[in-house]
Amino acid sequence: MAKSLLSVTLKAMKAAEKDRVRRAKAAERRSLAERREAAQQAKAYEAKVRKAVIADERDRTAYEKAVKAAHAAAQQSEVERMSSEIDAVLDDLEGLLAATIDVDDHIDLETLRKPFDTTPFDMPDLEISLVAPKRPTFPPEPTYLEPDKPKGFFGKKRKLEEARAIARQIHETQKAEWASSVSALSEEYKIQLAAYDKAEAERIETLAAEKDRFRQELDDHNRSIDQFITNLSYGDAEAVQEYISLIVENSTYPDHFKVTHEFSFAPETAELRMSVTIPSPDKFPATKEYKYIKTSDEIRDVPLSQMEIKKRYASVLHQVAIRSLHEVFEADRRGLIRTISLEVGTKAQHPATGRLDFLPFVGVSAERDSFMEFDLSGLVPLATLKHLGAAISKDPVGLVAVDVTGVRKS
C-alpha cells in the first residue's frame, strides 16, 4: 500500500486542527496586538513631534515630555510582546505531556476513506459551464426620409424630384451599409457560437473523463484503506509499521519544538523499538523574560539560570518519553504492540568524538498492560521513568548520554 495515500490524508486533517489551534491562540493574543498597534501609533506621533517647530518653550518642554513618555510606552509594549511570546514557548514546553492527556491518540482508519459523494472534486473549474456568446444587437434599419418641399414659385416640381432622387440614393447607400453590418455581426456570432459549442462539448467530455479518473482514484484509495485495515487486523508487520508512522505523524508538538521518530517493529516478539529525537540543549530557550531599561533606553533579556535551563530541559525530556509511550499504546487498541523499548535524546556533537551523533538521555522499556494502568494526569514523569527502571541522564544539558544497553529488549 502506498504510504502517501494515508499520510497525505492524515496530514491534511492534522493541518486543519493546527489551523484551529493557531486561530485560537491568535484570538487570545488580540489584546496584545492592540497594545502593539497603540505603541506603533505612539512611535509615529513621536516622529511627528520631533519634526514640529514649536515656538513656545513651555509647549516645547511639554511636547518633549510627551515624546519621551510615548517612546517609553512603545518600548514597554514591545517588552510585553516579547515576554508574552517567550512565556507561550515555555508554557508549551511545560505542557507537552498534558497536551496529549485529553487527546484520543487512536486513529480511526474509517475516517481516512474518501466517499465519492462528499469528497470535493479536484478539478472544480470543469463543473462550471462556459458562458455562451451573447446574440448581437443589430442597428435599426435605416428609413427613407422624404425631402422637404422646395420653396419658391418656379421649378418646384423639378426641384422636388431631384431632391427625392438624392434622398433615395442616400437611403439605398445607408441600407446597403446596414445590411453589410448585420451580415458581419451575424457571421461573427455564428463563428463565436460554433466555437462555444465545440468548447462546451469538450468541457463536458473532459469533465466526464476526469470524474471517472477521480472516482477511480477514490476507489483505489478506499481499497487501500480496506486492505490496510485487514492487514492490520492480522498483525502484518508492514501494516503495523505503517500505522505507527501515522501515530507519530499525528503527534502534534509545538512548531518551535521539532521532534522526529525512528522505529522498527518485531512481530515475533510484538516489540516496538523507538528512538525519539528532540532539539539539542543549545536550541532550548534560554530567556526567562524581557525588561525595558529606561535609563539606557534599551530592551534586555533576562536569561534563565543554568539550573533553571537544566530543570526545564530535563522536564521536557521526561515528558516526551512518557508521552511517546502513551501515544503509541493508546493508539494501538488492537494490542498488537506488547512492549516498547524507547530511547529519547538529541543529535549533537559527541563530547568524546566531536562527531554528530545521536545521544540518548533516556532509555526505558515498558509493557503495555502495566503502563496503561497509569493515570497520566496524576503522575510525575521522572518518578514514572524511575518506576519503569529507566536509564536517565544526570546532565543532558551537558550532553551526558546514558548507556541504554541495559534497557530490556526482547
HSE value, Cβ hemisphere, 13 Å, CA-based, for 322: 30
HSE value, Cβ hemisphere, 13 Å, CA-based, for 48: 8
CB of 312 closer than 8 Å to CB of 90? yes
If pLDDT is split at 50, 70 and 90, which confidence band does 4 have?
Answer: very low
How is residue 230 written as a grid cell? 485487514
Whole-angstrom distance, CA of residue 239 vs CA of residue 241: 5
Average pLDDT over residues 80-92: 91
If pLDDT is split at 50, 70 and 90, which confidence band does 3 have?
Answer: very low
- Give residue 275's region: left, alpha or beta (phi > 0; psi -120 to 50): beta
Query: For position 28, what pLDDT does the model report?
Result: 65
35 sits in which H/E element: helix 30-51
CB of 356 closer than 8 Å to CB of 345? no
CB of 114 closer than 8 Å to CB of 225? no
Backbone angles phi, psi at 288, to 5 degrees: -90, -45
Cut 0.85: pTM above it: no
Query: For position 156, what pLDDT does the model report?
Result: 78
How is residue 64 written as a grid cell? 518633549
Tens digit of pLDDT for each residue in 323-379? 999 999 999 988 999 999 999 999 998 888 888 999 999 999 999 999 999 998 889
CB of 114 closer than 8 Å to CB of 389? no
Bridge partners, 264 (sequence order) = 273
Q: What dihedral angle (degrees, nearest 10) is formed by the CA atoms of 383, 387, 388, 389?
A: 100
**Dihedral sign computed on CA atoms, order 12, 18, 22, 28:** positive
Amino acid at 396: P
If pLDDT is split at 50, 70 and 90, which confidence band does 13 have?
Answer: low
What does the DSSP assignment read for 42-96? HHHHHHHHHH-----HHHHHHHHHHHHHHHHHHHHHHHHHHHHHHHHHHHHHHTT
- Give residue 306's region: left, alpha or beta (phi > 0; psi -120 to 50): alpha
In the chain, % of residues over pLDDT 70 = 86
Average pLDDT over residues 132-161: 85
CB of 247 closer than 8 Å to CB of 259? no
Residue 187 Cα to chain centre, angstroms: 52
Average pLDDT over residues 200-219: 96
Whole-angstrom distance, CA of residue 277 vs CA of residue 356: 13
Query: For position 107, what pLDDT does the model report?
Result: 87
Whole-angstrom distance, CA of residue 48 vs CA of residue 67: 9
Exposed e or buried b per residue across 211-220, where buried means at least 16 C-beta atoms within 10 angstroms of its C-beta: eeebeeeeee
If pLDDT is split at 50, 70 and 90, which confidence band does 52 have?
Answer: low
If pLDDT is split at 50, 70 and 90, which confidence band does 2 have?
Answer: very low
Query: For position 227, what pLDDT does the model report?
Result: 94
Strands (E), 233-368: 260-266, 271-277, 287-293, 298-303, 339-349, 356-367
Q: What is the CA radius of gyration of the chain?
A: 39
**Dihedral sign computed on CA atoms, order 238, 241, 247, 252:** negative
If pLDDT is split at 50, 70 and 90, which confidence band does 72 have?
Answer: confident
The contacts of residue 171 (CB under 8 Å, 6+ apart) are 142, 143, 144, 145
- Give the 3-state secondary structure of residue 30: helix
Query: For position 69, what pLDDT does the model report?
Result: 85
If pLDDT is split at 50, 70 and 90, which confidence band does 1 have?
Answer: very low
